[in-house]
Amino acid sequence: MTLVLGYVGAACLLAGGVGWGAQVSRRGVTAPMLALTTLLTGVGLTLSARAFLAGADLPLTLGVVGALAGAALMVFTPRD
């Protein structure tokens, strides 16, 4: 069960990173989206860190790298 929650945490980290990158690329961070991305990142980090401490390091690695890559992709992708 911890491994499944670890992957849920990785998905939360990825969603938080993409959301943060989307807000930064629009040149305006709103309070509700900031709260949502902070919540997603906190939940994701907690769940994937628990899986890491239980011996599964892949969810934490995927979550952190995915969050950084998602944020960078959203920031550096040209928009209309």
pLDDT for res 26: 84
Name the pTM for this structure. Answer: 0.90
Sorted by sequence, the CB contacts under 8 Å of residue 80 that are 6+ apart come out as: none
pLDDT for res 27: 75
Weakly modelled stretches of the chain, pLDDT under 50: none
pLDDT for res 1: 87
